[in-house]
Structure 1
């Protein structure tokens, strides 16, 4: 077997000597022809000039231009791989601007007569919503909580909130007007939020063109009924009025830090604008267009965070708080207190659901619709208006000042503002920059690059063949005792490179 391998290697060696390894004169002629015919400007002058001075000058010129080209091309590639972006702001004036969805909640969340143990109910509600984390009140009401849990095994906070939370009817919604047309409590959709029962008014695709012409929008007059609904001041709930969020109809309302508050006895006039933000995908921006939400039609960071928390709580506790999206069973009181509360605490402390960057749990959305607002407040009605409303509602002026809230929401104008993040340097622009630098300093083109690659590849193959034939480390070709050259090989000879 070893003898056969040696014979095969010897045949390959003889074939390479005869067919592929050119002689020294052929290689010199190849280099001369390449230098004389290449489209790389300046190289021909180095070869054809007879004067050594001219050759040296042209060599300096070509070397200098080549150095500048390499520097410029490297700088453009470094800039490209820094993933630069530019931001453009476009303001468009359109005839039909869609009115956003508006979600309203009463700051006084529950009916007073239904809350027999207010502290326990509110503590459990805070556990469910995850608005607060552990606080000293847990020890204060620990005995009451234990007694309540043991005596109310089948108690459902969802049903308690649905039946005894804030409701919307003709006694709490005294007036509703949308573009001059009367709207009713039935036009609002009931949802659960951290504020309990809330109600969303959706425009259902109705255009808002008449806003700038008539000054009309959405006008609402609420009666918060402080005697009917209440919160516990000992837990920090001291406000009375309406909180609301203006958001896209396809997104879940977000109240944490974004809700607008209107206290009782006040008239809030809200001017809104429409702003659409477009963010580039990674690595130019931070968005990931392939992320989809399971329970929402469009992606949003708030909806993603809710689904993230729901997954963790579902895995840890085997149930779901009713304000989180999902099809799991509702957690009973024991699981709320013993499992959901620690789970929400761990999620917040350990950062299990992160937001912002592309590698976080919930990166920024690629497209986002926002509604920046300008709010002005004034006292609700003058003396004559208070008397008129008092006679109409058969309520005292003092009751009106302490319970009524008037909210007007209108478009500031019919402009549509788009903030778009764009790539500062695309692939085509990068190629144009590289090609421009090569053409300006060296007169090179894509054909020139192919010529250079062919020249380098040919010389590389020759070098490999030479090393393969002449390398002294290969014993099977240099073992003089076993492989003596024949007379035919001696006569043929191998020309030195």
Structure 2
């Protein structure tokens, strides 16, 4: 604000008498904390004023430019990632879900149902492959119950678990420490340290092999029913390491352990903290009634399930839900059976064609953990200890027993490689508080102003308006008097 000699002129009263008090502009210019204006007001002559006026204009222009740049940077909503490593004395152990590559065990299938096995092995392929030939349902009896068959003929842990130890303790766990879980792709599976109100809290206090979960499981290859044309061509276990309160998505996050090998799964806990929009893309769109913690993969799975429920009024086995998503009142939803498979296939076709459905919003979770796992293996058992190892499992009567162990026994160790936690945390590159600090700092640097300067300007404007109103009223009185 440039102030010439007129600013210094005394104000006049309404009757023309001089008021010795300087003008409001001069008072403001000489008392404000906004640097430069006072120099302009107090300088005498144009030669003294012009350098200060130019300096004030340049400083104001630079400040406007820098302010615009910082606001543009803020409106980009960029994020940075901080990496934090914490070392812990103990670390909560994850859930471990194990499945057999064989879905239906021969010894558990009734003779009357064995004729259906090869066709039932193609169910998942039929439902997921839209170019697959039509399923011949007429060859299956009307009273056949697919759900009962799948659950009763699948992998049974009680018959296959030969050793279970936690932190090296002998017989410190058994099949009762596992909860059942059904995978549409792998059939009956089992979860150690899974969800449950009364579940035991497992924590690893020492790092390394033998301080976590150790399993020896017989996969029972002689009872495999998978065929080359329909089913899995592999033999062994499929396992997933996941948080106890999240579903084990074996298809997308599963690892494999082969028979005849000691598989070491060393893991590291990694936490991811993401920002919501506009800085990130995280969110939690899952309905509150879902029993498991939200994750993007689980959400996508549930969208697929809900599409089937809405069209076919049934839910796929392994996709549990207690009620219809379009109903205000909870109502039971039955499992899909053989007669529903054509409808299920059509529902999945429509679901996929509509880009996961119009109501399917599955952002990445804002706070979730993963377990970075490294696999290594060694031959088990070695030739020097094979008889001693087999004696722990059963009587060694022939070479056939040795070959059986090599072809069927899976030895699995799951443990933390160390007790550290790595956290990847998204943070705002320019938080609002930092923006205010930047703007305030630039204002002080170029103009020497602060929040109090704004109050000074408001005070000047208020007093100027009051004086203007007073003059208008005085003129009206003079006019009315004449």
- Range that drifts further, 417-426 or 55-64: 417-426
In the aligned structure 2, how far is the partner of 1:397 from the partner of 1:278?
Answer: 49
- What is the match of residue 246 of structure 2? 251
In the aligned structure 2, how far is the partner of 1:147 from the partner of 1:341?
Answer: 19
Pair 1:430 & 2:435 matched: yes
In the aligned structure 2, how far is the partner of 1:381 from the partner of 1:219?
Answer: 15
Pair 1:190 & 2:180 matched: yes
Is contact 2:137-2:339 (8 Å) kept? no
Q: 1:340 aligns with which of 340, 344, 349?
A: 344
Matches within 5 A, 1:321-340: 321-327=316-322, 328-337=333-342, 339-340=343-344
Is contact 1:166-1:198 (8 Å) kept? yes
Q: 1:294 aligns with which of 289, 296, 313?
A: 289
- Range that drifts further, 240-249 or 181-190: 181-190
In the aligned structure 2, how far is the partner of 1:90 from the partner of 1:306?
Answer: 31
Matches within 5 A, 1:353-432: 361-390=361-390, 392-394=393-395, 396-432=401-437
- What is the match of residue 6 of structure 2? none
**3-state SS of paired residue (2:413):** strand
Pair 1:115 & 2:114 matched: yes
Displacement of 1:40 in angstroms is 1.7
Q: 2:70 aligns with which of 61, 76, 80?
A: 76
Is contact 2:168-2:210 (8 Å) kept? no
Is contact 1:219-1:407 (8 Å) kept? yes
Matches within 5 A, 1:34-433: 34-112=28-106, 113=109, 114-126=113-125, 132-136=128-132, 138-139=133-134, 142=135, 144-148=136-140, 151-152=141-142, 154-169=143-158, 171-181=159-169, 182=171, 183-194=173-184, 195-202=186-193, 204-212=200-208, 215-235=210-230, 237-288=232-283, 292-327=287-322, 328-337=333-342, 339-352=343-356, 361-390=361-390, 392-394=393-395, 396-433=401-438
In the aligned structure 2, how far is the partner of 1:429 from the partner of 1:362?
Answer: 32
Q: C-alpha deviations, 1:251-288, integer Å up to 9, x for none?
A: 11111232111122222111111111111222222222
In the aligned structure 2, how far is the partner of 1:261 from the partner of 1:312?
Answer: 31
In the aligned structure 1, how far is the partner of 2:465 from the partner of 2:150?
Answer: 80
Displacement of 1:372 in angstroms is 0.7
Q: C-alpha deviations, 1:41-90, integer Å up to 9, x for none?
A: 11122233222122211111001000111111111111122222221222
Q: C-alpha deviations, 1:278-331, integer Å up to 9, x for none?
A: 112222222225755422242211222232222222222222112113112222
Q: When the two structures are superposed, what TM-score results if normalisation uses the length of structure 1?
A: 0.79
Distance 1:346 1:115, change over 3 A: farther
Displacement of 1:414 in angstroms is 1.5
Is contact 1:293-1:304 (8 Å) kept? no
In the aligned structure 2, how far is the partner of 1:456 from the partner of 1:403?
Answer: 89
**3-state SS of paired residue (2:131):** coil
In the aligned structure 2, how far is the partner of 1:346 from the partner of 1:36?
Answer: 76
Is contact 1:244-1:259 (8 Å) kept? yes
Is contact 2:24-2:460 (8 Å) kept? no
Displacement of 1:389 in angstroms is 4.1
Distance 1:86 1:221, change over 3 A: same
In the aligned structure 2, how far is the partner of 1:448 from the partner of 1:291?
Answer: 50
In the aligned structure 1, how far is the partner of 2:272 from the partner of 2:448?
Answer: 43
Q: Which runs of 5+ in 1 are unaligned?
A: 1-22, 465-487
Distance 1:156 1:419, change over 3 A: same
Is contact 2:268-2:417 (8 Å) kept? yes
In the aligned structure 1, how far is the partner of 2:467 from the partner of 2:346?
Answer: 72
In the aligned structure 2, how far is the partner of 1:263 from the partner of 1:39?
Answer: 78
Displacement of 1:160 in angstroms is 1.1
- What is the match of residue 9 of structure 2? none
In the aligned structure 1, how far is the partner of 2:440 from the partner of 2:224?
Answer: 73
Displacement of 1:250 in angstroms is 0.9
**3-state SS of paired residue (1:199):** strand
**3-state SS of paired residue (1:234):** coil
In the aligned structure 2, how far is the partner of 1:461 from the partner of 1:226?
Answer: 96
Q: Which runs of 5+ in 2 are unaligned?
A: 1-15, 195-199, 323-332, 470-474
In the aligned structure 2, how far is the partner of 1:393 from the partner of 1:285?
Answer: 56
In the aligned structure 2, how far is the partner of 1:146 from the partner of 1:241?
Answer: 33
Larger radius of gyration: 1
In the aligned structure 2, how far is the partner of 1:109 from the partner of 1:460?
Answer: 86
Displacement of 1:444 in angstroms is 0.8
In the aligned structure 2, how far is the partner of 1:261 from the partner of 1:292?
Answer: 33
Is contact 1:101-1:200 (8 Å) kept? yes
Q: C-alpha deviations, 1:82-122, integer Å up to 9, x for none?
A: 22222122222211111111000000110234431334212
Distance 1:378 1:305, change over 3 A: same
Q: C-alpha deviations, 1:163-211, integer Å up to 9, x for none?
A: 0111111x31111111122121121101111211000011821221144
In the aligned structure 2, how far is the partner of 1:452 from the partner of 1:164?
Answer: 83
Displacement of 1:453 in angstroms is 5.1
Is contact 1:281-1:289 (8 Å) kept? no
